[in-house]
């Protein structure tokens, strides 16, 4: 069981998060209160271990802009959170995480059109495409075959509900942003608590 912490904006938090066992860190380049510049992201990424997945988050951005930011920052995966087409998602040399807003079971049908390695399931859109702190009904995922795609579960996860989410959904990775914040700022204690729960869940799965 892996974890991704999204919306990080400073070196201290990024390095702490990596040291506590997160496998992926997300940098938001789309309209958001957590938006970061490519220059800021590049400074942070230089301090991170090679094995960490450094994910750039975009919403309906041009391929040219995304490619430029990949080059400038060193991100090694892109998360597409808009209405990007299947062919657009296939146009990158780095792994693509296609995000989908899920409110009802029918929202899952479009996923079959995409061939990307990762899919991220998030709550219905709020003010922003993600990071709104609201979870969705995980039971609608039961019985769905995602054809080998790696499922990343997002949307309102925090220390209180992430274990239940893992037990119900069995995702490849859990994704957190607002759930490890205090007053809109990443909280190191909450990051530690969240990642500790994920690590413990992973150990139990390994044993079983």
- Phi then psi for 31, rounded to 5 degrees? -60, 120
B/e letters for 113-146, b = 16+ CB within 10 Å, e = fewer, are ebebebbbbbbeeeebbbbbeebbebebbeeeee
For 80-128, write each residue's pLDDT tens digit.
Answer: 999 999 999 999 999 999 999 998 999 999 999 999 999 999 988 655 5
Active site (catalytic) residues: 6, 122
For 130-188, write each residue's pLDDT tens digit.
Answer: 445 678 899 999 888 888 899 999 999 999 999 999 999 999 999 999 999 999 999 99
| Mean pLDDT in residue range 195-201 | 94
For 26-71, write each residue's pLDDT tens digit.
Answer: 999 999 999 999 999 999 999 999 999 999 999 999 999 999 999 9
Q: What is the pLDDT of residue 180?
A: 97
Name 133's Cβ contacts closer than 8 Å, sequence gap at least 6: 156, 178, 179
pTM of the model: 0.93
Q: Where are the domains of the chain?
A: 2-207
The CATH code for residues 2-207 is 3.20.20.70
- Phi then psi for 153, rounded to 5 degrees? -100, 125
């Amino acid at each position: 069981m892996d974890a991704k912490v999204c919306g990080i904006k400073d070196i201290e938090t990024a390095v702490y998060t990596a040291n506590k066992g997160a496998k992926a860190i997300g940098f938001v380049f789309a309209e958001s209160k957590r938006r970061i510049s490519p220059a800021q992201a590049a400074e942070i990424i230089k301090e991170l271990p090679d094995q960490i997945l450094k994910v750039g988050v975009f919403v309906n951005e041009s391929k040219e802009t995304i490619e430029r930011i990949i080059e400038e920052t060193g991100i090694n995966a892109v998360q597409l959170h808009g209405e990007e087409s299947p062919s657009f998602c296939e146009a990158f040399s780095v792994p693509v995480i296609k995000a989908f807003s899920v409110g009802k079971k029918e929202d899952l049908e479009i996923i079959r059109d995409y061939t990307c390695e990762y899919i991220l399931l998030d709550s219905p859109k709020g003010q922003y495409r993600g990071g709104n702190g609201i979870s969705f009904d995980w039971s609608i995922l039961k019985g769905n075959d995602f054809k080998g795609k790696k499922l990343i579960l997002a949307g309102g996860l925090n220390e209180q509900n992430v274990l239940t989410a893992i037990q119900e959904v069995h995702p490849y990775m859990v994704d957190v942003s607002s759930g490890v914040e205090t007053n809109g700022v990443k909280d190191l204690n909450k990051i530690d608590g969240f990642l500790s729960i994920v690590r413990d869940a992973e150990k139990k799965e390994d044993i079983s």
